[in-house]
Structure 1
Amino acid sequence: MATEVSEDLSGNNGELVEDSSAMETSENPVPPPMTEVSEENGGGGADEVPEVAPDTASYSTAPPATEEEEGELPVDFERLWTAANEHPQDFSSWTDLLQYCEQESHLTASRRALTAFLARYPLCYGYWKKYADLERRAGYNNKAEEVCVQGLQAIPLSVDLWIHYINLLLGTLDMNLPESPKRIRGVFEDAVSATGLDFHSDRLWDLYIEWEKEQGDMKAAAAVLDRVLQVPTQLYSSHYDKFKAHLDNHEPKDVLPPEEYAELRVLCRQSQKAERAEQAQEEEEERPPGEEEPATPEGKDSEELIQKMREQVLTQRDKVYQQNEGEVRKRWHYEDNIKRPYFHVKPLDRAQLRAWHAYLDWEISQLNKDTKEPNQEPNEEVEEGSEVKSQGEDTEEESQGSSDDKRVHILFERCLIACALYEEFWIKYVHYLEARSLEEARVVFRRACEIHLINKHTIHMQWAAFEERHGDLTEARRVLEALETALPGLAVVRLRRAGLERRAGRLDESETLLRDAVTQSIDNPSLHAFYSIKLARLLLKLGRNPCKARGVLHEALEISPDNGKLHMNLLELEVSGDLRGSAEGVQECVMRALSAPLPPRTKILFSQRGLQYAEDYGSSIQSVLSIYEEHQKLLKQLGGKKRAAAENGDSEDPEKMMKADDSSAVPVSPQVPPTMPHVPITTPPPTMIGADGSTQAAGYGAYSSWYQQPQYGSYGYQNTWNYNQGYYPPS
């Protein structure tokens, strides 16, 4: 119980006070009754969640320096240390190392292991406590406090760590010094400012209240109780019971602020006079002018007046309690669905993820609902004095809105303790903050990418896109460069970097990035071909330099002659060139593909593409017939029975053929590759006129339509008609 803890806190015997386990109540909390309460709150602006600001004047935020190094490290330390650092994402390797250090009780080894572990997993508050206890047992109290400060900067929402830090100070500070209570009270204020709105912050509030009582400041204890009465927490009803007990055990003047006590005393005395006047059966005794009532012995209030003031105080607090109970009731179901509020590397089940999403969405919706201002009539008359009232209401609504926004922040922070390894929640937090504070959104991105999700490239690229969208290209470049350093060889990152430079108008830098990628991937033919295609398209489409683009593809084909995509890109380049000089290049490209080690289906595709080009742009019938004869020979050699079936038109279902015929009259979208029967065809499809005046095959003009095909057999061509029967003489 909290009262038991507070009794231990008064002694300064150097022993560490029991922490969170001593603060838990022995009774299970029950949800608030389902009474009808008002759900409307005042709207207002958003405030930032207070940052942790313990007294760090004499402490550094860097890892604690060691004053005394022990001798040689334990025998198995290097082996376990190497295993943990070679596989830093293997949580069990770290726990094996830490367990071994704890068993060996070696200070230097434990410091080294804990520092490295907490740099990677800073949300494990239990290990911060172990680290602080390690320094405390070794006699380094200053270092123990440094560790607690570091831990609270990493996880400011940890109620347990705040309690541990406070207990450490209570066990080490000389409370006889006048600055010690002031420092403790400052830490308590930092703690409740950072985590006081947490639904499970009751133990911290209880510890604060009991400590104020131990200091003999009953007004301060009552003030803390007043504050917590307005916070929806799990043990909300116990705080109200403690407030009533505190009021019963002390006179109102000893627990209430002077202003409130004076106002309440006047109000109760007037009410008492009115009651006496109504109940009087005989005329009161005359008193000298100016004397209101005979003074009670020793200047104290009468018991009747004290009781009346207590009743009035409880009447006022009961309204606050009822309102707070309504807030608790609305949150109880969401809180009950959260089964693992702490950090762990084990994945959460879908139900837990849905529970967090639902809770966050609801809390945000409450804030949005409360901040909506009612519509005001255009010709509404304003009465005298209403302006002052409106200003007062606005102030109250702004305070309420600020509190609601702070609750959303704290709920996000709670969620990111349990869901730190799920980028969807980090992105959700950024989207919430982006409309309120770009700097806060950047801080969240930085925490996610530099601490918790180092190897998740998706959120890093979203961070870079965020910075680029808001005009900070330097930071966007830095993020992508750091990501590529951490995850070398990831093609999507290099392409994103090249795209960033291209959008910034730096085509030379974009070309340099792609050329470097081509050079660095020469040992990986598939990746080399991928980058070569990207570079060639950049040179062709944006650089307007087909010669350079052709050279890039030729060099890539020397390394990967069996890569059909390279051949197809080269063919696209030749086809899109000037018709007066491209015929020779097209036929050369087709012949290169036919002589390359490509699948038969792909060779047939290139052959028919060459036939199509000759049919559309050939200068003489002799050249067309010559190419046609070669195409027929290739079909006999590679097509076999499929050729005959295709020529007879019975290789596909009639309904599919009808759909193919219908699609021939509709331009194909460059973003969506057309559907087609996957059979060898003997005649070319119709051509399309591109936006730049170049001719392209239907379905071939879009780079993505063939580039994303898993096999080379589907390149976007359709056998939409069969005009070779009777058109050319049989071979």
Structure 2
Amino acid sequence: MAAWFSDERASFAIMAARFSDARASFAIMAAEGEMNSNGDLGEPSAMEAAEVSTLPPPEMSDENGCTDSATEASAQPETAFFSAPPDTEDEGSDLPADFERLWNAAHDNPRDFTSWTDLLQYCEQEVCVQGLQSIPLSVDLWIHYINLLLGTLDMNLPESPKHIRSVFEDAVVAAGLDFHSNRLWDLYFEWEKEQGDLRNATAVLDRVLKVPTQHYNTHYEKFKVHLNNSEPKEALSLEEYEEVRAFCRESQKVERAEQAKEKGEERPPGEEEPATPEGTDSEELMQRMREQVLVRRDKIYQENENEVRKRWNFEDTIKRPYFHVKPLDQTQLRGWHSYLDWEVAQLKKDTQDHNKDLNKTDADVKEDPEVTAQPQREMEETKVFCDDHRVRFLFERCLIACALYEEFWTRYIQYLETCSVDEVRAVYKRACDIHLPSTPNIHMQRATFEERHGDLAEARRVLEALDKNMPGLAVVRLRRAALERRAGQLEQSEALLQEAVTQSKEKPTLHAFYSIKLARLFLKLGRNPSRARSVLQEALEISPDNDKLHLNLLEVELSAETWSSAEAVQQCVTRALEAPLTPHTKILLSQRGLQFVEEYSNSIQSVLSVYEAHQKLIKELGGTKREAESGDEGREKLSKGDGGSANGASEQVPPTDPQVPVTMPPPPPMSIDASAQSGGYGGYSSWYQQPQYSSYGYQNTWNYNQGYYPPS
């Protein structure tokens, strides 16, 4: 605690000696809002109190953390589990009114020690309040805050006990489900006893008896001692007292009647049971009532013990429940995953069982109208609290120790997506703005979430902020361009890619990547091959050895009108052959040009001319034999894939000896998959030569070029 708020406490200590500096310090706090995760005054977080958690320091104990969940204080979910004190800040003032009052009192009489003490106590309390708004799962911080109130509030005032009780309620609702929340519950129980309200003390113990905690058995022992030391009329609620008293009195009458019958004694007519003073119970009756109450509580205790037993091994694997910058070991990470899996499965099972019980009860009521909801109420009373709150609470506990692990934030978000969009937004805000500001994946997931739910402005803001904070990530810029394209803002999408092209000229690989994306946008969506061609040609001036640029430029030329693209295609191929590309790429581009003239040229001379140039290129690059062997391998695979044998395929493969005439263009020196990765070019020769067609009665291999080109 001291380390967490050391800077703040130091600034307020200085206030006692230099009140002018302290006034400025508190003014900064009021103006800037919340503290940052180190306890220092920082930039305003702009986060709602119930939606935000900051990282607890390593010095704090195991109970420290954050949550947005509620506990079993009521059967209905709580929308806000912690209510901060009402805002006393006057309109038009930068500081709270209470601070102004205490400050003026100390300033008017600087030698009055009590005035300074009151001011310092107020300041310490306001730090505590801000801490609890940011870390509502911290059991230590709640206990510290409650003890601070107990030491400063005048308990003789009627509103003081009410305020303390409300803070206790906020505390157990916020952190009461923690496996190590025993001290908080014990403090609440002892305080209620000191107030002399035994019914409230019993109610506190009744609630904690349904919570699986580390010291669950001590709570039951405290309940027994508390019940034995108190009269049932004072300790039990009026409803339970009347119910148990009537049951025990009836059992007393039955037992006495049976005893009298066994002895053969009969009471004279008109003689009744020994009377007791009005409004009092006999010691025997009170003891019977205590025993009956314990019988009822024992059912709850056994259920809770079973729940603790289920969770004990999971809790035992959690060696570091607090936050630390050091990585967690794999055993603890697996333990958190297993714990979450189990808790979610438990919720599903309990939900199914509950629905079955409700259906059964409804059926009983339909069959017998006299059936009431009493059995159902008893079932709910004896059932340990294990609903959606517990799953959320465990996620929040997990995100304390695992705050830097994106996978747990993603799991929590996926769980909440079926419940509430606003809750998912709150978790995304905490994850992205506080814990994972430099993890791009979860920011992009957040933008996708906002776009999916129709908030395009927020999706743009998230991606713009990520692009600004982590410049150079191509996937982020592409996400921004894609978002604008889906929103119908094609010009804005083009502008984003054009900006990326301009900014990446000093990085040739990245520049080529953005240029290809921009060219495809012009070609596919803008229907403007001229602009696409211009972008790629400019990129080639910077990166002439980039094979992907040459391939995409060829695609642009091939997509143009046939009558106007023949010359452009050949120019593109020629440019590629003169560029410092690998032989592999040159042969690929040359073959693609050959295929184009085969399919679209109106002159046989042009076809033969391109073919001869292609054959010459293969010989110059020394790839004839290797490519022929590659073609054999490809045809063998193709034959196997169609149910043929490898031997059958090899019988029909043309000879690979360089002296034997080849009557077909050789296949490209790359596999089908590799050509697909290069833009879908090449690999066409497998369509020209199909060994499996021999099964249709062809005597020779079907050769697309057989009898078409002269031998080479």
TM-score by length of 2: 0.74
Deviates more, 1:432-441 or 1:609-618: 609-618
Structure-1 residue corresponding to 2:491: 508
Cα pair distance change 1:631/1:585, threshold 3 Å: same
Q: Any gaps of 5 or more consecutive residues in structure 2? A: 3-7, 17-34, 46-51, 65-115, 645-657, 690-702
| Letter matched to residue 115 of structure 1 | D
Equivalent pair of 1:563/1:598 in contact (CA under 8 Å)? yes
| 2:275 counterpart of 1:294 | yes
Equivalent pair of 1:125/1:158 in contact (CA under 8 Å)? no
| 2:243 counterpart of 1:260 | no
Structure-2 residue corresponding to 1:458: 441
Structure-2 residue corresponding to 1:717: 683
The counterpart of 1:348, out of the listed 312, 315, 328, is 328
The counterpart of 1:495, out of the listed 478, 481, 486, is 478
| Letter matched to residue 319 of structure 1 | K
| 2:177 counterpart of 1:197 | yes
- The Cα offsets for residues 331-370 of structure 1, whole Å up to 9 and x where unpaired, read as 2222223222221122222222222122112211222222
Cα pair distance change 1:259/1:726, threshold 3 Å: closer
Cα pair distance change 1:195/1:729, threshold 3 Å: same
| Letter matched to residue 323 of structure 1 | E
Deviates more, 1:429-438 or 1:342-351: 342-351
| Letter matched to residue 643 of structure 1 | T
| Letter matched to residue 677 of structure 2 | S
Equivalent pair of 1:611/1:684 in contact (CA under 8 Å)? no
Structure-1 residue corresponding to 2:395: 412
- The Cα offsets for residues 146-191 of structure 1, whole Å up to 9 and x where unpaired, read as 2222222222222122122222222333333332222221111001
Structure-2 residue corresponding to 1:600: 583
Equivalent pair of 2:300/2:383 in contact (CA under 8 Å)? no
Structure-2 residue corresponding to 1:94: none
* 1:335 match: secondary structure: helix
Equivalent pair of 2:399/2:408 in contact (CA under 8 Å)? yes
The counterpart of 1:562, out of the listed 533, 541, 545, is 545
- CA shift, 1:587, in A, is 0.3
| 2:113 counterpart of 1:146 | no
Matches of 2:593 and 2:632, distance apart in 1: 28
Structure-1 residue corresponding to 2:563: 580
| 2:336 counterpart of 1:364 | no
Structure-1 residue corresponding to 2:153: 173
| 2:584 counterpart of 1:659 | no
Matches of 2:252 and 2:511, distance apart in 1: 94
Structure-2 residue corresponding to 1:548: 531
What are the within-5 Å matches in structure 2 for residues 600-679 of structure 1?
A: 600-637=583-620, 639-640=621-622, 642-646=623-627, 649=628, 651-652=629-630, 655-660=633-638
CA RMSD of aligned residues (A): 4.0
| Letter matched to residue 55 of structure 2 | L
Matches of 1:349 and 1:716, distance apart in 2: 49
Equivalent pair of 1:660/1:718 in contact (CA under 8 Å)? no
Structure-1 residue corresponding to 2:73: none
Structure-2 residue corresponding to 1:26: none
Structure-2 residue corresponding to 1:186: 166
- CA shift, 1:269, in A, is 2.2
| Letter matched to residue 188 of structure 1 | F
Cα pair distance change 1:503/1:660, threshold 3 Å: same
Cα pair distance change 1:376/1:143, threshold 3 Å: closer
Structure-2 residue corresponding to 1:422: 405
Cα pair distance change 1:655/1:126, threshold 3 Å: closer
What are the within-5 Å matches in structure 2 for residues 60-139 of structure 1?
A: 114-115=39-40, 122-125=54-57
The counterpart of 2:225, out of the listed 237, 245, 248, is 245
Structure-1 residue corresponding to 2:314: 334
* 2:40 match: secondary structure: helix
Matches of 1:569 and 1:411, distance apart in 2: 52
Q: Any gaps of 5 or more consecutive residues in structure 1? A: 1-15, 19-62, 72-109, 131-135, 667-679, 688-696, 708-713
- CA shift, 1:645, in A, is 4.3
Cα pair distance change 1:429/1:581, threshold 3 Å: same
Matches of 2:423 and 2:150, distance apart in 1: 34
- CA shift, 1:446, in A, is 1.1
* 1:230 match: secondary structure: coil
Matches of 1:572 and 1:142, distance apart in 2: 73
Equivalent pair of 1:643/1:682 in contact (CA under 8 Å)? no
- CA shift, 1:224, in A, is 0.6
The counterpart of 1:159, out of the listed 139, 163, 183, is 139
* 1:389 match: secondary structure: coil
- The Cα offsets for residues 480-524 of structure 1, whole Å up to 9 and x where unpaired, read as 112112212211011111111112222222112111211222222
Equivalent pair of 2:132/2:138 in contact (CA under 8 Å)? yes
The counterpart of 2:303, out of the listed 314, 323, 328, is 323
Matches of 1:627 and 1:271, distance apart in 2: 110
| Letter matched to residue 326 of structure 1 | N
| Letter matched to residue 574 of structure 1 | E
What are the within-5 Å matches in structure 2 for residues 20-35 of structure 1?
A: none
Matches of 1:683 and 1:68, distance apart in 2: 92
Higher relative contact order (CA 8 A, sep 6+): 1
- The Cα offsets for residues 284-325 of structure 1, whole Å up to 9 and x where unpaired, read as 47778xx864225x9643221221111111111111112222
Equivalent pair of 2:303/2:382 in contact (CA under 8 Å)? no
The counterpart of 2:678, out of the listed 706, 710, 719, is 706
Matches of 1:179 and 1:477, distance apart in 2: 49
Structure-2 residue corresponding to 1:437: 420
- The Cα offsets for residues 642-666 of structure 1, whole Å up to 9 and x where unpaired, read as 32444xx3x3495544125678999
Cα pair distance change 1:149/1:492, threshold 3 Å: same
Equivalent pair of 1:128/1:151 in contact (CA under 8 Å)? no
Matches of 1:264 and 1:152, distance apart in 2: 41
Cα pair distance change 1:524/1:597, threshold 3 Å: same
| Letter matched to residue 705 of structure 1 | Q
The counterpart of 2:192, out of the listed 212, 218, 240, is 212
Cα pair distance change 1:257/1:402, threshold 3 Å: closer
| Letter matched to residue 551 of structure 1 | S
Equivalent pair of 2:667/2:685 in contact (CA under 8 Å)? no
Cα pair distance change 1:116/1:388, threshold 3 Å: farther
- CA shift, 1:561, in A, is 1.7
Structure-2 residue corresponding to 1:92: none
Cα pair distance change 1:684/1:656, threshold 3 Å: closer
Equivalent pair of 1:125/1:151 in contact (CA under 8 Å)? no
Equivalent pair of 1:430/1:445 in contact (CA under 8 Å)? yes
- CA shift, 1:546, in A, is 1.0
| Letter matched to residue 602 of structure 2 | S
The counterpart of 2:432, out of the listed 434, 440, 449, is 449
Structure-1 residue corresponding to 2:250: 270
Cα pair distance change 1:253/1:389, threshold 3 Å: closer
Structure-2 residue corresponding to 1:467: 450
Matches of 1:399 and 1:406, distance apart in 2: 18
Q: Number of aligned pairs?
A: 590
- The Cα offsets for residues 392-412 of structure 1, whole Å up to 9 and x where unpaired, read as 849976997985111111111
| 2:506 counterpart of 1:534 | no
Cα pair distance change 1:388/1:424, threshold 3 Å: farther
| Letter matched to residue 624 of structure 2 | R
